[in-house]
Amino acid sequence: MKRDHYRMVINGERVDSDETFETFNPAKGEILATVAKASREHAEKAVQAARHAFDHGKWRKYPVGKRARVLNQIAAIMRERFQELVEIEVLNSGKAISAAQAQINQAIEDFEFYAGAIVGHRGTVNNVPNGFLNYTQKEPVGVCAQIIPWNYPLMMAAWKVAPALAAGCSVVVKPASLTPITAILLNEICHEAGVPEGVVNTVAGAGSVVGDYLVGHEDVNKVAFTGSTPIGKDIMEKASHTLKRVTLELGGKSPNLVFADADMEAAVAGSLFGIYFNTGQSCEARSRLFVHEEIYDEFIEEFITRAKKLQLGDPFDKGTHVGSIISRDQLEIIDSYVRSAEEEGATIALGGKERRVEGFENGHWYEPTVITNVTPDMKAVQEEIFGPVVVVETFQDEREVIKRANDTKFGLGSAIWTKDQGRATRVAHQLEAGIVMVNCPFSAFPGTPFGGYKESGFGRELCVETLDLYMEDKSILSYYGPKPINPFGV
Ligand code: NAD
């Protein structure tokens, strides 16, 4: 159940700090709990705990079957504590309960997925000249710093902790200060499930202090970061000093292409979900909607009619579709994009303002917003807004829309709505995006590679290949011939 105060976790112990920070319930704009604030010294202790656990501990030496059992046990405990995890996620993020349920279910399945995947994950035996044997052995990369954003607090932690544990790594998790609670609980659950002390550590604190310290630390072998593109660039640069392995899951501005032959019902429903799910605070939010000019009027009328039906309000109400914005600052950023589009001549066809929600007057609520009459150069069209705001454009033909869809520095998600299978395949192959959804509203399940092209980052999470991002391939070459080899002949 919810506590009033949360501590960090270092070397299997709950650790307090002289300093605390407040974490909020954004739907109500009120304090939810206090959290022990990690300093650089705490980050240092967490790294040393992880280092010691990796160098001298038993986790990485467990047979994979045993590690897999512990991962399954983490999933089982999360399942037992499902209601509690959902409740805390909703309280701390303001997201609709249906979204939190889906995400925590997926977080659980991530641990089950990697429990299975690691068992079948193995090295290779390679073709070499007779008399030689070469095989590769997969070894865990070491200590990993895992830096998490606020939009999917527990699910993003699971995307990182599950493969790292499966691979045999030790981790220091740095959750976002706005939403640190469920990552701390996940760490406690890992211990309850049998992960040895020091293997998972969680330190909540400022990104510029704790995150930065972890990224620069010599004893950290890898950084897995999910967050904004500017911070991702900064991390890549700092990590280069120690040549750390880096994976970056960054921002997006994903195009959603609706062709004239699309199934109108599916395209409208999927496009609504694509932008307003998780209150639009989603990296792969399909925030640039391109509608073929032949069906534009019909589509947009139906889209707006249905957007008006979306229920905004009490996140715990099962009927709620759109939850609150994470913070006042984020709400102001969203609104400033809408205002800039308006100033540049766009039309606010729906929403475009803060909403007052009865019973939640101090919370941060923004209306589902549709902006039309935009041009490609507008700030609201080029930059990630990270809120319930979609910009809509029309197009005439396939080649033109592919070019315009790709005209962005980002390359995370994309969606295509058409009944023409040939077109779907052609367009999918030409979009510069890590994920293409064809007649499909969903972007990720355990097993589907998730990650970006261009400035949306690199490295794929949520899939078998992720394991290799937490492992080194050691190539072992041995000679078994009967005579000694004397290459110099001396
Ligand atoms: P953010 O970049 O502000 O922060 C992310 C994390 O980095 C936080 O834990 C923060 O404390 C930490 N951080 C901040 N400065 C740091 C520094 N100098 N060094 C190290 N760590 C630092 O992002 P956010 O606002 O929490 O999350 C929203 C962003 O995340 C959006 O851009 C969104 O698109 C992106 N995101 C991407 C994916 C994906 O899979 N591609 C998924 C979810 C969110």
Query: Which atom of ligand 1 is nearest the CA belonging to 215?
Result: 20
Q: Is 293 helix (H, G, I), strand (E, B) or coil?
A: coil
Q: The pTM is what?
A: 0.97
* Domain map (residue ranges) of the chain: 5-250+456-475, 255-438
Q: How confident is the model at residue 209 (pLDDT cuts 50, 70, 90)?
A: very high
Q: What pLDDT, on a 0 to 100 scale, did the predictor assign at position 233?
A: 98
The whole-number average pLDDT for the span 72-87 is 98
As a whole number, the mean pLDDT across the chain is 98
Q: Using CA positions, which residue lies closest to atom 22 of ligand 1?
A: 207
Identical topology for domains 5-250+456-475 and 255-438:
no
| Confidence label for 201 from pLDDT (cuts 50, 70 and 90) | very high
Nearest CA to ligand 1 atom 20: 211
Taking 80 as the threshold, does the pLDDT of residue 241 lie above it?
A: yes
Instruction: Compute the average pLDDT of residues 176-203.
Output: 98
Q: Side chain identity at 14, as an amino acid letter?
A: R
The amino acid that residue 242 corresponds to is: T
Catalytic residue of the set 109, 112, 188, 249? 249
pLDDT digits (tens, 9 = 90+) for 469-483: 999 999 999 999 999
Tokens of 20: 């605390």
Alpha carbon distance 463, 1 (integer Å): 32
Residue 2: predicted pLDDT: 87
CA distances for 157 relative to 138, 154, 195, 253, 428, angstroms: 23, 5, 16, 23, 30
Q: On the CB side of 467, how many CA atoms lie within 13 Å of its CA?
A: 25
Q: How confident is the model at residue 1 (pLDDT cuts 50, 70, 90)?
A: confident
DSSP letters along 177-219, please? TTS-HHHHHHHHHHHHHTPPTTSEEE----IIIIIHHHHH-TT
Protein residue with least CA distance to atom 35, ligand 1: 227
Atom of ligand 1 nearest to the CA of 450: 40
Residue 217 clears pLDDT 90, i.e. is over it: yes
The pLDDT tens digits for 386-400 are 999 999 999 999 999
**Domain boundaries 5-250+456-475, CATH class:** alpha beta
169 within 8 A of 140, measured Cβ to Cβ: yes
- Say what the pLDDT of residue 418 is: 98
Quick one: average pLDDT of 394-409?
98
Determine contact, residues 476/134, Cβ cutoff 8 Å: yes
The CA 227 to ligand 1 mean position distance, Å, reads 2
What CATH number does the domain located at 255-438 have?
3.40.309.10
- Ranges of beta strands (E only) in 227-368 are 245-249, 255-258, 288-292, 347-350
Q: Is the dihedral of CA 206, 96, 453, 400 positive or negative?
A: negative
Element (H, E) at 386: none
Residue 249 has a pLDDT of 98
